[in-house]
Structure 1
Amino acid sequence: MEELFDAPQADAPEQAVIAHFRLSGEQFGEPDERAAIYDAKRAMTVAVEDAGVGEVDGNEFGGGEAVVYAYGPDADALFKVMEPTLRGLPFRPAYVTLRRGDAEAAVSRVDL
């Protein structure tokens, strides 16, 4: 398979894409909301693995929010692959943070 993005240096720190979605209620959202997040996570996992840009690591529910975590060597390439699915989810407000560097690196925010 042809690579879609330039490969970063092997010693580059892992970067992150973290998506936040507001759900109904104060806790874990409704069952259909959680199902939509799980379906989107599965679709993004396949897309990210097929593109070879990282991994969708997991999700959390709580406090009326769903959060999806993804990591890879290039946050911009990772977000580019995930973006169509993230924007397709109906929950708002929603935003994504992109961390381009190690855990101490500054983050940028993209509203969905």
Structure 2
Amino acid sequence: MQDSPLNLPTAPPEHAVIARFQLGGDDLGEPGQWSLVFEAERSIGAAVAAAGVGEADGNELGGGEVVIFAYGPDADALYRVMEPGLRALPFRPAHVVLRYGEPDDDVVSKRIAL
């Protein structure tokens, strides 16, 4: 017998941690900055995976900034694991947005300056 769609468990809404850092130089920053971002991203990704709180999902470079993304079921838990690595990046101004739900919902979010 198959489960009906009405009996399937629903997944909790996906939360996000979105960190934005202003880069120096031109639109894509400077190559030395890239290596710091990639190193921090690897470290943050390993910490997130080890803690089992979600998934680091890469970055976007452009417009004079870098944005680092991570997703999981609890934005606060995800941020606690990511915070040391994010604060270690030297680029400022910088901030993090914790999003408590899917992006298409009218969700609560919190902004934290780094």
- Report the TM-score, using the length of structure 2 for normalisation: 0.87
Match among 104, 108, 111 for residue 109 of structure 1: 111
Aligned pair count reads 104
For 1:20, the equivalent position in structure 2 comes to 20
- The residue type paired with residue 112 of structure 2 is V
Secondary structure (helix, strand or coil) at the match of 1:68 reads: strand
- Name the SS for the 1:69 alignment partner: strand
CA RMSD in angstroms comes to 1.3
What whole-Å deviation, never above 9, does each CA across 1:9-54 have from its counterpart, x for those lacking one?
9621000000000001341100010110000000001000000000
Question: What residue in structure 1 maps to residue 77 of structure 2?
Answer: 77
1:47 aligns to 2:54 (yes or no): no
* Secondary structure of 1:79 counterpart: helix
Runs of 5+ in structure 1 lacking a partner? 1-8
| Runs of 4+ with deviation above 3 angstroms | none
Q: How does 1:25-36 map onto structure 2 within 5 Å?
A: 25-36=25-36
Using the TM superposition, give the Cα deviation of residue 101 of structure 1 relative to its aligned residue in structure 2, in angstroms: 1.4
After superposition, the C-alpha distances for 1:56-100 in whole angstroms (9 at most, x for unaligned) are: 001000000000000000000000000001001100000000001
**% same residue:** 55
CA distance in 2, matches of 1:10, 1:73: 13
SS across alignment from 1:102: coil
Corresponding residue of 1:5 = none
Alignment-mate amino acid for residue 49 of structure 1: A
Q: State the secondary structure of the residue aligned to 1:56.
A: strand
